[in-house]
Structure 1
Amino acid sequence: MRVIDNDKIQELINSISSNDNLKEKFLKLLIDTLELRENEYHPLVFVNGSPKLGKDVFIGFFSEINAKGGEVIIGDKCDIASFVSINIADSHSRTIGLSNEIARGKIILENNVFVGSHSFIGGNVKIGHNSVVAAGTILINGGEIPPYSLIKGNPAKVYKKYYLKEG
């Protein structure tokens, strides 16, 4: 059994961190070794299918956007935190023998939507602009949610026009 020398590991990490060439080679090795998919966000963001993503969209590490076989549209200036799943597919009916198909529902996030960490957004939902999905929210078949809303909880509860400032 090999003993791990924490000092040597820290020394290696420091040398990689301070050398852009080594950092790039290490990242490529990590992507290849773990068979990660490269995308414009980060190799630790999983993008499947062809979602339509607007300008200035941020997606945090370990988040997933699955648009395979369906449609996901994310507007401009949306912020999707880490550990978020946005997934059009629902295979539970097929798995338990009630259907032969995977159900797929369209997901739309209009401009300036924030999705908090550890949230799940399933199909058949349109979230209006300037809305917030609170951390840990489970939103499935949410229908059309108006702009400036707060969506939170499991099951999700919608607080319509929560962020609308009255003049």
Structure 2
Amino acid sequence: MKKEEFQSLFTELTDIRENPFHPLVWIGGEPEIGKNVYIGGMSEVNAKGAKVVIGDNCDIASFVVINCTDSHKRTIGLSEEIERKDIILENNVYVGTQSFIGGGVHIGHHSVVGAGTIVREGNYPPYSLIVGNPAVVKEGYYLKKMEENE
């Protein structure tokens, strides 16, 4: 079976529509995705009901979830609505495998999210290394590395 045939059948059987990245990348809503972006297989980008922006030259590894929604308050009866918040990844951001980027996150350019990191609401400055659960931010980590290479 050719890739095009697989994608057509897969789209017909699921709600995962065709995309330019990988047949097994789920994209919901209408995220703004820049130029020269890679999104690995089994990743999800959910932009239903909020603005999700992935800048130019970003690399999103496999098994990554970028999800603007949070339904826990609705599930336990604290709200009648699903919470939806914007997500922005500026240019040249790398997101490592099996990471989660939640609603209300803004990651500055030239930053790295380490594998397995859970990134919750907040502003993360450019050139940061973001790792762990809960996420620890090493501000300017990659700026120093770039200056060392000059």
TM-score, normalised relative to structure 2: 0.90
Match of 2:74 in 1: 94
Structure 1 counterpart of 2:30: 50
- How far apart are residue 56 of structure 1 and its match? 0.4
Q: Which runs of 5+ in 1 are unaligned?
A: 1-21
Distance 1:119 1:28, change over 3 A: closer
Structure 1 residues 100, 156: CA separation in 2 closer, same or farther (over 3 Å shift)?
Answer: same
Which ranges of 4 or more aligned residues in structure 1 deviate by more than 3 Å?
A: none
- C-alpha distance in 1 between matches for 2:4 and 2:94: 33
User: 1:161 is matched by which residue type in structure 2?
Assistant: G
Q: 1:82 aligns with which of 41, 62, 65?
A: 62
Q: From 136, 140, 149, give the equivalent of 1:157.
A: 136
Equivalent in the alignment of 1:129? 109
Instruction: Select the residue among 106, 109, 129 that pairs with 2:86.
Output: 106
Decide whether aligned partners of structure 1 residues 24 and 156 sit closer, same or farther in structure 2, where only a CA change above 3 A counts. closer
Deviation for aligned residue 1:107: 0.5
The letter for the 2-side match of 1:40 is: P
Q: 1:55 to 1:83 in 2, by over 3 A?
A: same
The SS at the match of 1:163 is: helix
**Quick check: 2:8–2:18 contact (8 Å CA) kept in 1?**
no
Q: State the AA in 2 paired with 1:148.
A: Y
82-91 or 34-43: bigger deviation: 34-43
Instruction: Indicate whether 1:116 and 2:96 are aligned.
Output: yes
Which one-letter code corresponds to 2:124 in the other structure? I
Aligned residues: 145
Structure 2 regions of 5+ residues with no counterpart? Answer: none
Choose between structure 1 and 2: higher strand proportion: 2
Does residue 126 of structure 2 align to residue 147 of structure 1?
Answer: yes
Cα deviation for residue 34 of structure 1 reads 3.9
Structure 1 vs Structure 2 CA RMSD: 1.6
Deviations along 1:59-101, one digit per CA (max 9) or x if unpaired, are: 0000000000001001000000000000000000000000011
Looking at structure 1, the residues matched to 12 and 33 of structure 2 have their Cα atoms a distance apart, in angstroms, of: 28
